Amino acid sequence: MEGNLNQKLLTEAKEKEDEDVKFKDKLWTETKKMWIVAGPAIFTRFSTFGVSVISLAFVGHIGPTELAAFSLCFTVLLRFGNGVLLGMASALETLCGQAYGAKQYHMLGIYLQRSWIVLFATALCLLPLYIFATPILIALGQDEEVAAVAGYIGRWFVFVVLSFIMSFTCQMFLQAQSKNMIIAYLAAFSIGIHIFLSWLLTVKLKYGLAGALLSTILAYWIPNIGQLLFVTCGGCKDTWKGFSMLAFKDLLPVAKLSLSSGAMLCLELWYNTILVLLTGNMQNAQIAIDALAICLNINGWEMMISLGFLAAASVRVSNELGRGSSKGAKFSIMTTTLTSLCIGSVLFVIFLFLRGRLAYIFTESEEVASAVADLSPLLACSILLNSVQPVLSGVAVGAGWQSIVAWVNIASYYLIGIPIGVVLGYVVDMGVKGVWIGMLLGTFVQTLILVIITWKTDWDNQVVLARSRVNKWFVPESRETNSNPENGA
């Protein structure tokens, strides 16, 4: 009780400090802090998304079977592993962000190592999916020839899955400190190397599928090596104090938070996958899937912007809560949400008016273009919702609400969105449009619930909870470390 009172007194002192700053200066400072995280995060996600698009383009010139197998492996298997590991790594955003805000700098390195252990154990559990991809895909009813090639690709993808461990954790670690420009530089370098190597190995040297896959693996691993060298060789002097046996302490609570984070993100990623699967069972499925693929591709590119703001929201909220400023956390939520909403509104108008004309970038079919035009209002609405929903998910990650949001996702997506989509798509016979309307309703309900939760939250109490979490897992610096963390503040 006394501890809570002290925390609240500290919070009030911090708020009085913040009140002395003019609103205009406060807004400018917060906007700069937000873009320091969001800008590089958006660019990095565009680059990472671009790696898969480049790989797909070069594999497509090898043969239709290879293209189908690569698409299947990437869409079903790799996206599944990506979702699980990225979701679990996002627990590091909560821990590192709040510890950094509380100036417990040395704890960031310990949390990073704990996350490596948890994610490595998870990745080992996922590897059979890739090693035995052929029998798994055949059991799911896929063509045997495609499944055989997919099994070959799946074994190469083992190295990609292992790359996610280092990639996601180092990104979260650096983002918490607003040091993610290095991630953007490495991503740009990696995609340039990937284009050159893909051309060299598949077109010039004629190594075929093996050449394309080798280039893909290198594109995922090059940024990891750069990030690891930056972290361990002096780029993070205050937050990386070397490898420590303390990484093996308190693994269970870290694993629990990681599992909650993984469940929260996977439930969102699988939601879009179900949309594609439901569409595949309809009449004129080929046109419907082509139109939906174009819309989801555009939506996917736009989603990279939203995920950048998700990263910014989680970092800023966790930093402010760790610092002890509830008003700072609320102000960062408002600034990030409104900025993202403004960008989303502009894109909403653009895509609403472009309609079917967008389809001709991807196809020459009049039927597909007409189907895309029909879906364009729904695409525009999705983009508008995407400008708010990921930001609120980022707020949840920053505050450590992953388990709450996982339950919200189950209720809004799987108890509301999908059932309504099935009824509209199949019973009311609205086709893919009906399925998408149902999915949008689910996303809208989830967004509405997150807005209410964020609005009704007692942020002073969240500061107390954040400090409690930070202090609970705090480990004093080793006596061998003589540097003062305050020097890096």
How far apart are alpha carbons 417 and 330 in whole angstroms? Answer: 30
Query: Taking a C-beta distance cutoff of 8 angstroms, is the pair 313, 399 a contact?
Result: no
pLDDT digits (tens, 9 = 90+) for 340-380: 999 999 989 988 888 767 777 666 677 777 878 888 888 88
Q: How many CB atoms lie within 10 A of CB 125?
A: 9
| pLDDT, averaged across the chain | 84
pLDDT digits (tens, 9 = 90+) for 150-186: 999 999 999 999 999 999 999 999 999 988 899 999 9
Residue range 277-282: average pLDDT?
58
Min mean pLDDT across 12-16, 419-423, 447-451 is at 12-16
How far apart are alpha carbons 161 and 167 in whole angstroms? Answer: 10
HEC sequence for 72-118? HHHHHHHHHHHHHHHHHHCHHHHHHHHHHHCCCCHHHHHHHHHHHHH
Residue range 397-402: average pLDDT?
87
| Tokens found for residue 395 | 């707020």
Query: Taking a C-beta distance cutoff of 8 angstroms, is the pair 440, 378 a contact?
Result: yes
Start-to-end CA span in the chain (Å): 30
pLDDT digits (tens, 9 = 90+) for 459-487: 999 999 888 888 877 777 654 344 444 43
In the DSSP assignment, the letter for residue 477 is P
pTM above 0.85, yes or no: no
In the prediction, which pLDDT does 23 show?
81
Distance of CA 84 to the CA centre of its chain: 10
SS3 of 179, please? coil
- One-letter amino acid at 322 equals G
In the prediction, which pLDDT does 488 show?
38
Q: How many CB atoms lie within 10 A of CB 478?
A: 12
